[in-house]
Amino acid sequence: MALHGDPALDALMHPFAEGELARVPGALFLRARAGAALAVDQWPGLDCEAPFRPDAEALARAGFTVADEAVASGAGGGDAGRPLVLLLPPRQRDEARALFAEALARAAPGAMVVASVANDAGAKTAEADFARIAGPVTTRSKHKCRVFRARAGQPGGDPALAAQWRGLDAPRQVAGGRFLSRPGVFAWDRIDAASALLAHHLPADLAGHAADLGAGYGYLSAELLDRSPGIVALDAFEADARALAMARHNLAGAASRATLAFHWHDVTAGVPGRYDVVVTNPPFHAPDGRERPDIGRAFIAAAAAALRPGGRLWLVANRHLPYEQALGAGFGEARLVAQQGGFKVVEAVKAAAARSGRPAR
């Protein structure tokens, strides 16, 4: 996925570009994103953690050392004693509070922790939350964002509250205990209505090797395996490492009846392998909240390329999204299965040879 303007990143880097703060070796960047304001030659020894695969790939291309945060910090609590910690907090509040506490815990005593949040993404609330556990903050505004900072362990902080917050994004049971999920994952505390609609219409005769594109915490994969006993293997593709870890847990019980594989992968770049069935509820928003129907179209193109002739795509999407052209370009036929609650379910069948320009029915 191509880089785009990132005001929060630009604002975060501004105090360093102006010389107000110093770039120090061994710094840590949580929820890191790549961009023009972040140059590897200006940040010797900067370690980045990025659970979102497109961000991780962009950072690696730019020359940074990158880790999936689930590996770097989720299992063993992560390293501590960092001389500087940067972060771009997520929108979900429990997840953001946990990340603020994580940043303070991983900073050396007296080290600076610096965060940046766009004004329209809840900057004032985020700053207030950070101040509750960090103590007094220094704030500046830039690029319609708030950049705020404090020193780890300074007087006025609340270490006890920070310790509580550090567990706010821990995995927990949802959907009556059927699944494990965690704050920040898509539809983390419920079964997404669109996915539920698609699952309801999945036929029992789907068979062979299947892929779930954008698997989230594994709901659609679980439903497909339950409803279609002919599925003998399933690959779950998910760009969010935090969600993929939940999918691994939630689908572990199905390993005895189907071969399972899990891929931390950007589906918009295409997927490896060949499949008889693809199911997907593709995202149509970027992580910053902007509507991006091109992401859904890229998922459809990836499905078309990965399916064998005669393979079947089962897709759910918001009714207003213009996916018909993408379906017509990649599939021999497509039919509208259901419309309900603002969503549409579509089945598309891969032809023996792609027929460009044929519209979906």
The contacts found for 252-260 with CB under 8 angstroms, 24 or more apart, are: 254/222, 254/225, 257/225, 258/225, 258/231, 258/232, 258/233, 258/234, 259/232, 259/233, 259/234, 260/233, 260/234, 260/235, 260/236
Domains of the chain: total: 2
What's the pTM value of the predicted model, to 2 decimals?
Answer: 0.91
Q: Which residue range(s) make up the domain with 68? A: 7-165
Res 359 pLDDT > 80: no
Give whole-number Cα distances, 324 to 25, 35, 294, 346, in Å. Answer: 50, 33, 12, 10
313 and 200 in a common domain: yes
Res 357 pLDDT > 80: no
Domain edge (last residue) among 126, 141, 165: 165
191 and 139 in a common domain: no
Residue 165 · residue 101 · CB < 8 Å: yes
239 and 125 in a common domain: no
| Token pair of 33 as six digits | 């994103």
pLDDT band of 2, cuts 50, 70, 90: very low
Res 189 pLDDT > 80: yes
Give me the sign of the Cα torsion angle 53, 59, 62, 66: negative
339 vs 287: which has the higher pLDDT: 339
How far, rounded to the nearest angstrom, does the alpha carbon of residue 209 sit from its chain's CA centroid? 25
> What's the pLDDT at 223?
98
**Residue labelled with tokens 């785009």:** 4
> What's the pLDDT at 109?
97
Among 24-38, 70-84, 346-360, the minimum mean pLDDT is found in: 70-84
177 and 151 in a common domain: no
Give whole-number Cα distances, 112 to 71, 250, 312, 356, in Å. Answer: 24, 38, 53, 56
Res 271 pLDDT > 80: yes
Q: Is residue 361 part of a domain?
A: no
CB atoms within 10 A of CB 361: 12
| Domain harbouring 110, CATH code | 3.40.50.150
Residue 213 · residue 298 · CB < 8 Å: no
Average pLDDT value for the chain: 92
DSSP state for residue 285 in the 8-state scheme: B
25 vs 28: CA distance, rounded Å:
9
203 and 68 in a common domain: no
238 and 97 in a common domain: no
Domain edge (last residue) among 98, 130, 165: 165
> What's the pLDDT at 71?
46
Res 286 pLDDT > 80: no
Among 47-56, 107-116, 345-354, the minimum mean pLDDT is found in: 345-354
Contact partners, residue 58, CB within 8 Å, separation at least 6:
3, 33, 34
> What's the pLDDT at 353?
60
